[in-house]
Amino acid sequence: MRRVRVSVVIPTYNRRDLLPRAVESAAARITGDDEIIVVDDGSTDGTADAIRNDSRVTLIETENRGPAAARNAAIEVATGRFLAFLDSDDAWYPTGLDEQVEALDKDDSLGLSHAEAMNEVLPGAATTPRARPTREGDVLATLLRRNFVTTSTAVVPRRVLDQVGRFDESLDRSMDWDLWLRIAERYRFHFLRRTVALYRFHADQQIRDRESVDDCRQRILRKALARLEARDDPLVPVTRRYLAYRLLRLGRQRLAAGKRDEAGESFRAAADVRWTARFTAWRYRWTVSGGRPCAG
């Protein structure tokens, strides 16, 4: 039986026109010891048909359950010692994978390798550098503040995923950040200072529902805080500060949308996490009310 080195995980939904390019870019970057797994997450535009006859690809078709479930479905059938993630609207450059795998293979203290990426705004805009800070080693403190790992550059050893778990399917957004945090709590990160992926940004990736985004992010930080508190980690205070900030943002989004009761719940939750948040919450209420104090 062939021993697989890297399993490339490509989730897709309604990307018939872009998926073949992603697959071609993956095929150009891997070796004969690697595999490509595409999970079609219930597409309605014939996405799976675009690569159905491609012998280089293992195709899995599922009902629509979201990108976390699609990635998890690929992980379950993957046989590689390493998992490399590529979104179907992105593309890889034919460089860097061997170096990322080698770094992870040589050092068991590393739980994830990531690299630089470039932005391409569709349709037809020029490619620009993707703004990400260089972060390697013990990155947890920085990662708690915001996600700096571009998913389409990430490579993770299978043994690490078996230890920290899979993508959280209850999250509609930012499920990659949640997984990276769980990895960073146990392992160091490797960073390759080379551009390995093209991150494609287009109209249907616009974040229209800021409330949903902020809600997912505060849930992720709540999970992280619970884990850190359980082991009396010194990062508990800074995690509380970041969580309070996310809850205040969520409350502001709800207040602006006229959801006063739900906004009050978010503001109270922020104050419970960090008492100084009550002053910021009061300021938000005052601003939205046009200078009149709001109840709650």
Q: For 133, left (φ over 0), alpha (ψ -120 to 50), or beta? A: beta
pLDDT in tens, 79-101: 999 999 999 999 999 999 999 99
Spell out the alpha helix ranges (H) of 3-96.
19-29, 67-77
pLDDT at 290 over 80: no
d(CA 86, CA 37): 10
Give the pLDDT of residue 126.
Answer: 52
Contact 19, 49 (CB under 8 A): no
pLDDT in tens, 191-203: 999 999 998 875 5
Average pLDDT for 12-23: 96
Average pLDDT for 29-40: 97
pLDDT at 296 over 50: no
What are the CA-CA distances from residue 217 to residues 21, 75, 245 (Å)? 31, 24, 10
Give the pLDDT of residue 247.
Answer: 92
Give the pLDDT of residue 280.
Answer: 77
Q: What's 8's DSSP letter?
A: E
For the chain, what is the mean pLDDT?
89
Give the pLDDT of residue 132.
Answer: 57
pLDDT at 131 over 80: no
User: In the chain, pLDDT over 90 holds for what percent of residues?
Assistant: 71
In terms of average pLDDT, the best of 88-92, 212-216, 250-254 is 88-92
Average pLDDT for 64-81: 97
Give the pLDDT of residue 291.
Answer: 45
**Nearest CA to 104 among 94, 115, 93, 95?**
115
- For 137, the 3-state DSSP assignment is strand
Give the pLDDT of residue 263.
Answer: 86
Q: What is the pTM of this model?
A: 0.90
User: In the chain, pLDDT over 70 holds for what percent of residues?
Assistant: 88
pLDDT at 15 over 60: yes
Give the pLDDT of residue 187.
Answer: 98
